[in-house]
Structure 1
């Protein structure tokens, strides 16, 4: 089942529970365009994630890097990394597999064969190519796990744990050398602190200095962080976040554009309309009418 209304908390941590009834594992097929935002917004979670693109192409951002994931290929996204996805081809569909790191191997092996890899600062992602044997093995295992979860056949949980062991062994044999940088860890902690502050205070009057203070940075360093990691400015990110928050409000039948503009932090309805049109390629009123018509019986 696809998650269409992608919910995160104030620190961008995804609120979806990634598990079946008995396993800390979740697998689902996602069509990016069906998400309420038209893309998978920036978020993070403790689970490691595997994406297998089965149709079309996706542009996936992981921390400050953007990567094109082509049809048939995939990507491993490490625990705690900020990531998002946009549809490049217009019809992108991928299988998503989320797994708790503590479920990958027996607890006795966690400190030696799991923790060093989910803590390594040089391993935010690993590209999985179907043209490489080890990558193809992982991609096939992702499909098999999804099938096992859907079929719910006898002993399927044991089969899934076996496949996860194979996947993890393939990754640590073919991934990068481990590195750990306290400076890199601190950088992403500060980034999450600034994003968390924006998500708590977006409806208020916000300045660049406010955002920088949340990350314990100067204004110029704050701008450098946003430019390097998110490829935008702090204020542009704030505006984009306000617009994203407005989407749900606009879908309420008794809402109006001016009220929504002020609720999400804009001090002018005309400025809200201008920025909304630039971001969404339509006016807020057109978006409201379009969504209401789709929801009508």
Structure 2
């Protein structure tokens, strides 16, 4: 079975281009069970994203919240919002990802009046269920669009018409939060988390402490703990260990380095400790992992 993973930069921004330079729109049908460990890990992007649980339920971690996307429901994730998708029983998740400026060009009246206030607000996500009339309308549009995109003859004009219709239903039925001091504070927190994550990615091979990580964002250790807990539901040190383990797993899959060398090259000074942590996280020893992944191909979407 082919395994998939998300690819991000040092701030967890997804690096893959969605669509093309002249039409920033992409359609995917993700089988979350095919991702390593059955989750699409933390990431964010400037694009808007509509996702639907077509089969099974999806555990959605969105910014600081956890929501369950039940089968048949959809949600919209705002631009720039950190998120992660998980499943416990398998889930098929069709989704569309597109730049807000695809609906209307930046600087235009439509963009300034109907799009910019939404993407600049502290609005993180919107759930859509059949029980609410206007939300069911969104679900019907999405379902129709997915069926169309599964076909072979695709018209960009038709896609734009459907996106405009989706957006019209959305803005007619939700109240966009007015930018406030709270939003500015949220942006600052998000920036500090990204700064610490980038510091971890740049220095994970070195001996790092909680104090080192907190210092990279000029905050206290307690503040760093709180920001990570609220932002990505992990402590800074636990995130560091998991990142080291993910880099070790990459080396196991792609190199012939010995386990002891890989442990040292990913910041673990003690091989026994590395093997113990690796087994706790991957449910197998490093050697077993290398053998099991020998024929796996990794992609991103």
TM-score of the superposed pair, with normalisation by structure 2: 0.90
Contact kept in structure 1, 2:48 and 2:99, CA below 8 Å: yes
Look up the SS of the partner of 1:251 in the other structure.
helix
**1:288 match:** 290
In structure 1, C-alpha distance between the alignment counterparts of 2:14 and 2:296, rounded to whole Å: 26
Task: Give the Å deviation of 1:44.
Answer: 0.6
In structure 2, C-alpha distance between the alignment counterparts of 1:86 and 1:133, rounded to whole Å: 28
RMSD of equivalent CA atoms? 2.0
Look up the SS of the partner of 1:7 in the other structure.
coil
In structure 2, C-alpha distance between the alignment counterparts of 1:22 and 1:31, rounded to whole Å: 28
Task: Give the Å deviation of 1:139.
Answer: 2.6
Alignment of 1:106-145 (within 5 A): 106=105, 107-121=108-122, 123-145=123-145
Distance 1:17 1:294, change over 3 A: closer
In structure 2, C-alpha distance between the alignment counterparts of 1:223 and 1:19, rounded to whole Å: 37
Given candidates 193, 196, 203, the residue that maps to 2:195 is: 193
Are 1:51 and 2:39 an aligned pair? no
In structure 1, C-alpha distance between the alignment counterparts of 2:208 and 2:268, rounded to whole Å: 10
Distance 1:160 1:238, change over 3 A: same
Distance 1:255 1:136, change over 3 A: farther
Given candidates 242, 249, 252, the residue that maps to 1:250 is: 252
User: Which ranges of structure 2 fall in alignment gaps of 5 or more residues?
Assistant: none
Look up the SS of the partner of 1:55 in the other structure.
coil
Of 220-229 and 18-27, more deviation after overlay is shown by: 18-27
Given candidates 270, 273, 276, the residue that maps to 2:275 is: 273
Task: Give the Å deviation of 1:33.
Answer: 1.9
Contact kept in structure 2, 1:148 and 1:160, CA below 8 Å: no
Of 101-110 and 48-57, more deviation after overlay is shown by: 101-110
User: Which ranges of structure 1 fall in alignment gaps of 5 or more residues?
Assistant: none
**2:178 match:** 179
In structure 1, C-alpha distance between the alignment counterparts of 2:296 and 2:140, rounded to whole Å: 37
**1:34 match:** 34
